[in-house]
């Protein structure tokens, strides 16, 4: 009877050992699924303005409901004097993000579309200060918008002035570990000309796949051409959910693999007419998680 119990005990130990080994193997094979956010190759966020919370810390609660990893936040507007420059507002954002268990993904100055960086003197201080804000928030990218009044197409004088201003800030950005990302209607070649003229790793391209596709550019070739000089991406469609519009996101993923991109992909737009934002963004998030898995 005693020998029988010993044998049963040995068998139980062997069975537990086999089960433990199997679980360890499964965990090793599925490591990306269990990895902390900072260990994942891709993180998915959304622009605060596209989820109806521009300049509002409540964007993080909405992002949590969607299932995102973080939020791209706005520096502010001319009307609120770029309020995120204030330390007390920065603390509020950090506290709210921490409470939601999400990250402040990156920064954006969308107001440049109305008050252009290429000509208005006020914007020089805004962009200068955005570097300090990035450092305070622990983020590495600030999007500089060049649409509307800040459009650089067929504006050689405007491009020259932007190059001059970016050159003046490049060293400060480099020392802070911050990247100034140009988002515009320009082609990859036109962007590369600006980057080469500035001559700093702190100035890169913020690539919006929808905008460039709408301009008729071969976005999959452009991503590969720009390569490591892309700092971040907007996953966007106009008037449809991601995956149901003009952009082939499977081909986008292949291009990201080819250039070795890792980092944030921010969802923008992609709400069909008449559809609720929250429902649409949950679908968009689920789609992008499948693409970037």
pTM score = 0.87
Same-domain pairing of 165 and 129: yes
Same domain? For 46 and 26 the reply is no
Higher pLDDT, 253 or 28: 253
Pair (119, 16) in one structural domain: no
When pLDDT is averaged across residues 248-276 and rounded to a whole number, the result is 98
Q: Angle, to 10 degrees, between the axis of helix 87-100 and the axis of helix 122-137?
A: 40
The alpha carbon of 286 is separated from its chain's Cα centroid by a whole number of angstroms, namely: 16
Q: Which residues contact 235 (CB under 8 A, 6 or more apart)?
A: 209, 242, 249, 252, 265, 266, 267, 268, 270, 284, 288
Is the domain of 156 the same as that of 260?
yes
Over the stretch 45-66, which tens digit does the pLDDT of each residue have?
Answer: 999 999 999 999 999 999 999 9
Q: How many domains does the chain have?
A: 2
The stretch 135-142 carries a mean pLDDT of: 98
Given this model, what pLDDT does residue 40 score? Answer: 80
Confidence label for 38 from pLDDT (cuts 50, 70 and 90) = low
Q: What's the average model confidence in pLDDT over 160-179? A: 98
Task: Give the pLDDT confidence score for residue 217 in this predicted structure.
Answer: 98
| 158 or 8, higher pLDDT | 158
Question: What is the average per-residue pLDDT within 182-206?
Answer: 98
| Residues 218 and 252 both lie in one domain | yes
The confidence score (pLDDT) of residue 266 equals 98
**Cα angle 155-173-131, degrees, rounded to a multiple of 5:** 90
Phi-psi region of 181 (alpha: psi -120 to 50; beta: other; left: phi over 0): beta
5 and 102 fall within a common domain: no
Contact 83, 115 (CB under 8 A): no
Q: From 191, 198, 196, select the one nearest 208 (Cα to Cα).
A: 191
Write down the pLDDT at residue 31. Answer: 34
Q: Are 26 and 73 members of one domain?
A: no
Same domain, 212 and 266: yes
**Is the pLDDT score of 138 beyond 70?**
yes
Is residue 82 domain-shared with residue 26, that is, in the same domain? no
**In whole angstroms, what is the distance from residue 236 CA to residue 59 CA?**
18
Instruction: Report, as an integer, the average pLDDT of 10-25.
Output: 45
Burial string for 14-50 (b: 16+ CB within 10 Å, else e) reads eeeeeeeeeeeeeeeeeeeeeeeeeeeebbbbbbbbb
Q: What residues contact residue 272 under an 8 Å CB cut-off, 6+ apart?
A: 239, 240, 241, 244, 280
Q: Which domain holds residue 7?
A: 1-31
Rounded percentage of the chain residues whose pLDDT exceeds 70: 87
| CA 227 – CA 218 distance, rounded (Å) | 14
- Pair (9, 120) in one structural domain: no
| Strands of 225-272, DSSP E | 230-237, 263-269
pLDDT of residue 33: 34
Q: With pLDDT > 90 as the criterion, what percentage of the chain qualifies?
A: 86
> Does residue 112 sit in the same domain as residue 241?
yes
Say how far apart CA 218 and CA 138 lie, in whole Å.
Answer: 34
| Domain CATH code at residue 199 | 3.20.20.150
Per DSSP, the chain holds a count of helices (H) and strands (E) of 11, 8
Q: Which long-range CB contacts under 8 A does 51-55 form with residues at least 24 apart?
A: 51/277, 51/281, 52/277, 54/110, 55/80, 55/83, 55/84
The reply to whether 3 and 111 lie within a common domain is no
* C-alpha–C-alpha distance, residues 263 and 273, integer Å: 30
């Amino acid at each position: 009877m005693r020998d029988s119990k010993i044998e049963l005990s040995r068998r139980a130990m062997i069975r537990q050992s086999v089960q433990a080994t199997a679980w360890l193997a499964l965990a090793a094979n599925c490591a990306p699924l269990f990895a902390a956010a900072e260990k994942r190759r891709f993180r998915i966020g959304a622009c605060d303005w596209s989820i109806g919370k521009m300049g509002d810390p409540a964007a993080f609660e909405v992002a949590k409901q969607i299932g995102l990893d973080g939020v791209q936040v706005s520096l502010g507007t001319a009307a609120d004097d770029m309020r995120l420059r204030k330390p007390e507002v920065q603390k509020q954002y950090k506290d709210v993000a921490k409470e939601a268990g999400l990250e402040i993904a990156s920064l954006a100055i969308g107001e440049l579309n109305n008050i252009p960086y290429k000509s208005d003197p006020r914007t020089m201080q805004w962009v200068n200060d955005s570097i300090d804000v990035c450092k305070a928030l622990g983020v590495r990218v600030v999007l500089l918008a060049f649409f509307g009044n800040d459009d650089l197409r067929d504006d050689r004088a405007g491009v020259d002035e932007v190059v001059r201003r970016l050159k003046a800030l490049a060293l400060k950005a480099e020392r802070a570990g911050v990247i100034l990302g140009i988002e515009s209607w320009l082609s990859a070649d036109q962007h590369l000309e600006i980057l080469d003229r500035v001559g700093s790793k702190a100035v890169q391209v913020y690539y919006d796949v929808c905008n460039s596709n709408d301009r008729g550019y071969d976005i999959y070739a452009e991503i590969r051409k720009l390569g490591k000089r892309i700092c971040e991406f907007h996953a966007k469609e106009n008037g449809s959910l991601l995956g149901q519009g003009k952009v082939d996101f499977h081909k986008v993923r292949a291009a990201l693999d080819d250039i070795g991109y890792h980092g944030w992909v921010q969802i923008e737009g992609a709400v069909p007419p008449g559809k609720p934002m929250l429902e649409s963004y949950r679908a968009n998030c689920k789609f992008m998680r499948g693409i970037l898995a």
